[in-house]
Amino acid sequence: MPYLAPIPLDLLPDSMAVHQPDTTANYGGKFLDPVTVTHVRYERAETLNADTIKLAGGASGRIWVDAANSSGAFRIPVGSKIVLDGETLHVVSCAEYRPYGPVHHWELDVK
């Protein structure tokens, strides 16, 4: 079976606090305590090549989370709130990439 190497650590310079939606709350807008995920990569829409990367509607950027090299990595649900470099972002889509079996990485489109 082919092997796809993890995203190198030097390409994952950012850290983020993830606030997942509280699905047990009686009303929306409540979040669970934050979980820190380190070694991720955030790129704003204006720095991405629009010919090769298509963001979800209204997204202002993308965060890459590597299954092997991002400490604390997990599938982050849509609707989660992300705090990264003092900026608050909201997850509008989460694509999981499994080219050869197990998850290689997730791509989060955020606004």
Residue 16 is predicted with a pLDDT of: 98
Q: Give the model's pLDDT for residue 1.
A: 63
Highest CATH level, class, for 9-110? mainly beta
User: Where along the chain do its domains lie?
Assistant: 9-110
Is the separation of the CB atoms in 109 and 91 below 8 Å?
yes
> Which residue, chain included where needed, has tokens 């791509």?
107
Q: pLDDT by residue (tens digit) across 12-32?
A: 999 999 999 999 988 888 999
Note the pLDDT tens digit of each residue in 48-98: 877 678 788 788 899 999 999 999 999 999 999 999 999 999 999 999 999
Distances (CA, A) of 10 to 6, 7, 35, 69, 87: 11, 9, 22, 10, 22
Q: What's the confidence (pLDDT) of residue 7?
A: 97
pTM value is 0.92
